[in-house]
Every structure is written in C-alpha cells, then in structure tokens.
Amino acid sequence: MPFGAHETMEVHEILNEKIHLINQLGHMVGETQNYQVRHMIERHLQTAIQAYDQMVAYTHDYSAANQAPQPYGMPRMSPQQLQYGLHNPAPMLPQPEHAFNDQQIISALLLSHKNSAKNHMAASLECADPNLRNMMINGAVTCANQAYEVFLFMNANGLYQVPTMKDHTAKTFLHAYQPMHAQPHGQPMMPM
C-alpha cells in the first residue's frame, strides 16, 4: 500500500523531529542536576523512542499498525493547585556562551513538547492513511500531556508564572458568551 505525497513529507518531518528530540533529551538527562527533572526527561525519552520506533516500523512494512501505545497520560491536577499571578519574575535574556542550567533545560523541554504537539497535529491533517493519522494524533496528545507535566513542575517551582487579570474583567469578558439552549428554537439573542 503506498503513502501519499503529503503524508510522506509530514512523516519525514515528524521522524526528523523525533530524532532531534531523542538526541536533545539524551543530552539533557546528562546535564540536569535536579533528580525530578532527570526522571521526567528519562520517561519522556523512552516515550519518544517508542513513538519513533513504531512509526519507522509502520512505514517500513505496516507491522506496527496494531501496536500503537496509548498517548502519554494527562497529569492529575485540579485548577486550585495551580499558582496564578506574577511574583517578581526574574529577568530573561539569551546566554549563548554558558552551559545550560536546570531552568534552561526545563524551559527547552517545555518548548520542544509544545512545538512537537503542534507539528504532530498539523501532520495528522495531511495523513490519508488512518494508522499514520492515529499515530500523529496520539503523538500530539502525548506531547501536549508531556508539556503540561513540565509546566506543572515549573509552575510549582515558580519557574512558570501565569499572568492574570482582575477576576471581574475575566468573568465579564468570558460571560459575554451565552449557551445556545438559552434561547427558544436555537435563535441567537440579538444585541441591543
């Protein structure tokens, strides 16, 4: 069974991205000083290797179609556990001549997962093959959940602060949207 031109190019891009992610994660594991960060990176590295191997196997001989691992699980968290607000954020600037510290490593990990989630989802939209499409969607969900896990660590440690606006401003803005079932026969309410 052949692959289409679009999906072939998208798979090429994702496999290339996975190679660089695996290399990057392998380097990060050896550089980080924080045990929690190291353990998280090791888990993410194993997941990336499994996804890479699965996609390679499928593109070689369709053998991995029924062996798709489940996406990386969503970390359990309630909104009340998140830290909101800015609390004296540290200045940020490029430091190209220095070795990465743990904060730079965890920030790079977050950005890698966020970008990979976007790239996987965009690739899924170009896949005609249902198994490739499913691998891409699972990859997007995995990367999104891994990015959230990294965010939670950063947020808990004051490394990712969530800006806020006044509560009444947010509610006023978002409460402008009304449910359709509030109007008879699905007619939208006309503004006055």
Number of domains in the chain: 1
Burial of 29 (0-12, 13-18, 19+ CB in 10 A): middle
CATH number at residue 116: 1.20.1260.10
Radius of gyration of the chain (CA): 21
In a domain, 180, yes or no: no
Give the domain range for residue 127: 5-80+98-166
3-state SS assignment for residue 159: coil
Q: What is the pLDDT along the chain (192 residues), one digit of tens a residue?
A: 678 898 999 999 999 999 999 999 999 999 999 999 999 999 999 999 999 999 999 998 877 666 666 788 888 888 888 888 888 888 888 888 788 899 999 999 999 999 999 999 999 999 999 999 999 999 999 999 999 999 999 999 999 999 988 888 888 888 999 998 866 555 666 666
Query: CA nearest 161: which of 99, 107, 96?
Result: 107
